[in-house]
Amino acid sequence: MPKPIFELTITCLLGLALVSCSPETTEAPAETTDSAEAAVMATADTYIEAWFEHFPEMATFYRIEGKSHDRLTDNTPEGRAAWQAVEDQLLADLASVDPDLLEGSDAWLPYGILLESLEASRDSRVCETHGWNIDQVWGWQIWLGELATAQPASTDEETAWALARWQRIPAYIDNEIDNLRDGLGAGYSAPQRNVSLVVEQIDSLLGMNSSESPLYAPAVTAEDDAFSEALAQLIEDDIYPAMQRYRDFLVDEYHDRARTEIAVAALPNGAACYVAQLRTYTTLPYEPEEMFEAGKEAVALREEQITVVGERVFETGDLAEIRTRMNDDESNRFESREEVLEYTTAAVNRAREATPLWFGKVPEADVVIKPVPEYQEQSSTSRYVPASDDGALPGTYFINLFQPEEQTRGSVESLSFHEAYPGHHLQIALAQERSAAHPVTRYIGNSGFIEGWARYTETLANEMGLYSSDRNTLEMLSGLPTGMVVDPGIHAMGWSRDEAIEYTLSKQTHWTPEAAATYVDRIVVWPGQMTTYGAGELEFIRLRRQAEATLGDDFDIREFHDQALGNGSVTLIMLRSQINDWLNRYEPGD
């Protein structure tokens, strides 16, 4: 693949925030508030342009106006080095700014988000993720299908973009093989179990006719016979053979050399990698052992809440008895995929109608519900994909309908509120629709805020009266924050896969062994990410309690939510600052 233009000329082309191309130097004038703000905004402008240039798929997912959609990320070593050089230069630019001069200015927000994103990315380089990037949750075999759904193909220019991008897919896949082969040589590998899961997914894809493939989605949009034929032939003649090469590489060359240990600690510099990933995902300064202990405390607190509601539902506060009664209730399960989908749709509609009573601002973008593609069902999970900026694509809640007879009504409802209203869709769409805000604050987020908010809204939904019954509320509470325990348990405390599954089933007692295995396998390939749900939820709860105590009778839940969501997916440290600032400014009668 050709190198991005900024690889060669980034310092000359992308704005004032980078060092000058001239060898001459002059003494810098004393920094003022205006100059500091201008420097930060220029750096943010440079970053977002470079980000969309290096990760062109993101411009497609968001439908960014003025961008072409004909390339893929440069996943070669040269492309990776070019992006790291951009990050290093931007970090140097931010280091020259006195953050005290930004207090109260418009630049405070992009500065904090950008600094955290750049530092976390730099510190995570120790992981060398490209050398063991085999991922059944969001690997290329998954996200390319999602990209195909977002790919514009309504005009001649857009269909030309689609064909140009699809022509690059074989080289991208071959580059992934090269990266994995280099990773093996340097002592990096993915766990064998996860390798097998990805092989199964690729086998499913290769078993489809080209017109059935997720990659054929642009042809459905285009309604152009010539384009559809060309796309199908490209999939059949070029992309499928590349997939086959990747699949054969995993089976014949990689699997038996892959690691049997599941912890990232088994890799070179693995312990440092895990600390970096915890920071990247949570934006909080947790050490692994601190996260593990905090997780155990959070699980115990939630179990206490279960016993309280259990008294109301089953007339017993005995935790084991409550769990047995919940698991034995066959009426709590579904008979078909269609029933799960109908139940989910009713929950989302109910939440959509109630949202304005609890939020001063609601998004214009809608959310639709679609099943997870069948080839992903057994190894992937439900998820939310944001709406496009141009309004052409709504937010999408992809629901996993696998084994409907094993899914429970309460968990389906709580997941619906987590993914749609008042969870991911409401929060992410509001962030996107802040059209006057700097793009860095609209598109760059973090899992601690995003997943923490969504977990907070599962219990908020109970306050909103959204659950169909106390039984379903009890089941929501049973979704314990076990990620705060299992994630560091695996990656820092030496837990085996079986130990992690056993602990998960002992706490998430409404889960099947298959669901627990999928959960653990996800934690294995995304070190640190599963901690963000519980850790972020605790932060939102703490800040709400602080606001309630400070404001007393003046506390307004709509105002608190608008304050919490008003600046997009800020770091959790920044969230603390903005809530504290709001409370300090508040005067009775405001």
pLDDT averaged over consecutive 10-residue blocks of the chain (590 residues)?
Answer: 29 29 43 91 97 96 89 98 98 96 92 97 98 96 93 95 98 98 98 98 96 94 94 98 98 98 98 98 96 98 96 94 89 94 97 98 96 80 86 90 92 96 97 94 94 98 97 94 98 98 94 93 97 97 98 97 96 96 83
If asked whether residues 423 and 337 sit together in one domain, one would say: yes
Q: What is the pLDDT of residue 391?
A: 82
Q: What is the pLDDT of residue 9?
A: 30
- Is residue 262 within 8 Å of residue 525, measured between CB atoms? no
Q: Is residue 545 part of a domain?
A: no
Query: What is the rounded (10 degree) CA torsion for 187, 192, 196, 202?
Result: -10
Element (DSSP H or E) covering residue 23:
none
At 567, list the tokens.
Answer: 């600046």
Please give the backbone phi and psi of residue 397, each rounded to the nearest 5 degrees, phi first.
-100, 110
Domain hosting 42: range is 1-128
If asked whether residues 103 and 140 sit together in one domain, one would say: no
Q: Is residue 235 part of a domain?
A: yes
If asked whether residues 326 and 310 sit together in one domain, one would say: yes
Give me the amino acid identity at 320. Answer: A
Locus of tokens 């989908």 = 341
Closest to 380 measured CA to CA, from 133, 61, 135, 132: 135
Please give the backbone phi and psi of residue 17, each rounded to the nearest 5 degrees, phi first.
-75, -15
3-class secondary structure, 360: coil
Q: Is residue 583 part of a domain?
A: no
Q: Is residue 228 part of a domain?
A: yes
370 bridge partner residues: 398
If asked whether residues 364 and 446 sit together in one domain, one would say: yes
395-399/383-385 β-pairing: antiparallel
If asked whether residues 290 and 335 sit together in one domain, one would say: yes
* Domain finish residue from 107, 128, 149: 128
* Domain finish residue from 101, 128, 155: 128
- Is residue 417 within 8 Å of residue 473, measured between CB atoms? no
Q: Rounded to whole angstroms, how far apart are CA atoms 297 and 157?
A: 56
Q: What is the pLDDT of residue 381?
A: 77
Q: What is the pLDDT of residue 28?
A: 44
First to last CA, the chain: 57
If asked whether residues 20 and 73 sit together in one domain, one would say: yes
- Is residue 186 within 8 Å of residue 127, measured between CB atoms? no
If asked whether residues 136 and 123 sit together in one domain, one would say: no
Residues 6+ apart with CB under 8 A from 85: 10
- Across the beta sheet with 367-371, the strand order is 367-371, 395-399, 383-385
Q: Is residue 567 part of a domain?
A: no
If asked whether residues 249 and 398 sit together in one domain, one would say: no
If asked whether residues 347 and 216 sit together in one domain, one would say: no
Alpha carbon distances (Å) from 31 to 34, 39, 115, 491, 550: 8, 10, 19, 44, 37
Alpha carbon distances (Å) from 150 to 144, 145, 218, 562: 10, 9, 8, 30
408 bridge partner residues: 333
Q: Is residue 550 part of a domain?
A: no
Q: Which long-range contacts (CB under 8 A, 24 or more apart) does 225-229 make?
A: 227/153, 227/159, 227/162, 227/163
Q: What is the pLDDT of residue 374?
A: 83
If asked whether residues 263 and 287 sit together in one domain, one would say: no
Locus of tokens 């089976």 = 251
CA atoms within 13 A on the CB side of 116: 28
Alpha carbon distances (Å) from 291 to 119, 126, 452, 483, 538: 21, 21, 15, 10, 12
- Is residue 486 within 8 Å of residue 520, measured between CB atoms? yes
383-385/367-371 β-pairing: unpaired
Give the number of residues written for the chain: 590
Q: Is residue 336 part of a domain?
A: yes
* Domain finish residue from 128, 144, 168: 128
If asked whether residues 246 and 294 sit together in one domain, one would say: no
Closest to 52 measured CA to CA, from 36, 63, 37, 38: 63
Number of domains in the chain: 3
Locus of tokens 């199964």 = 200
Q: Rounded to whole angstroms, how far apart are CA atoms 320 and 303?
A: 11
Please give the backbone phi and psi of residue 268, each rounded to the nearest 5 degrees, phi first.
-55, 135
Query: What is the rounded (10 degree) CA torsion for 557, 559, 562, 563?
Result: -110
If asked whether residues 259 and 312 sit together in one domain, one would say: no
Q: Is residue 167 part of a domain?
A: yes
